[in-house]
Amino acid sequence: MEGYARPVSLSSTVMRHRRLDFHAMASPCEVQLWHADDDTASEALRAARDEVLRIEAKYSRYRDDSVIGTINRAAGGEAVEVDAETAALLDFAARCHADSGGRFDITSGVLRRAWNFRDGVVPDAGVIESLLPMIGWPQVEWRRPHIRLPRAGMELDFGGFGKEYAADRAAAMLVEHRIRHGLVNLGGDVRAIGPHPERQPWHIAIQHPRQPDTLIAEIAIGDGALATSGDYERYFERDGRRYCHVLDATTGWPIQGAQSVSVLAPLCIVAGVHATVAMLHGHQAQGYLAATGLPHLLVDGAGRVSGHLAPAPPSAPLPL
Q: What is the pLDDT of residue 10?
A: 43
Residues of the domain holding 125: 1-320
Is residue 145 reached through a cis peptide bond, with omega within 30 degrees of 0 on the bond before it? yes
Q: What is the pLDDT of residue 14?
A: 59
3-state secondary structure of 120: coil
Instruction: Report residue 296: phi and psi, to 5°.
Output: -155, 165
Alpha-carbon span 97 to 55, nearest angstrom: 22
Going by C-alpha positions, the residue among 269, 268, 261, 230 that lies closest to residue 246 is: 230
The CATH number for 239's domain is 3.10.520.10
Alpha-carbon span 67 to 82, nearest angstrom: 8
Neighbour tally for 28: CB within 10 Å: 13
Q: List residues bridging with 206 in a β-sheet.
A: 5, 217
Question: pLDDT tens, position by position, for the chain (320 residues)?
Answer: 444 444 444 444 458 999 999 999 999 999 999 999 999 999 999 999 999 999 999 999 999 899 999 999 999 999 999 999 999 999 999 999 999 999 999 999 999 999 999 889 999 999 999 999 999 999 999 999 999 999 999 999 999 999 999 999 999 999 999 999 999 999 999 999 988 887 788 888 888 899 888 888 888 888 899 999 999 888 999 988 999 999 999 999 999 999 999 999 999 999 999 999 999 999 999 999 999 999 999 999 999 999 877 543 333 333 33
Instruction: Report residue 226: phi and psi, to 5°.
Output: -130, 130
8 A C-beta contact, residue 293 and residue 319? no
Q: Which residues contact 226 (CB under 8 A, 6 or more apart)?
A: 5, 189, 190, 204, 219, 262, 263, 264, 268, 271, 309
Q: Which residues contact 40 (CB under 8 A, 6 or more apart)?
A: 177, 178, 179
Q: Which stretches within 100-161 are classed as H helix?
A: 125-131
Model pTM? 0.90
Q: What is the pLDDT of residue 261?
A: 96
User: At what angle are helices 268-280 and 285-292 packed, to 10 degrees?
Assistant: 150
Residue 192 burial (C-beta neighbours within 10 Å; 0-12, 13-18, 19+)? buried
Task: Give Cα separations from 124 to 76, 127, 236 (angstroms).
Answer: 26, 5, 16
Pairing of strands 235-238, 241-244: antiparallel
Distance separating the N- and C-terminal Cα atoms of the chain: 16
Alpha-carbon span 179 to 13, nearest angstrom: 17
Alpha-carbon span 17 to 170, nearest angstrom: 18
Instruction: Report residue 232: phi and psi, to 5°.
Output: -120, 0
The count of structural domains within the chain is 1
For residue 159, the one-letter residue type is: G
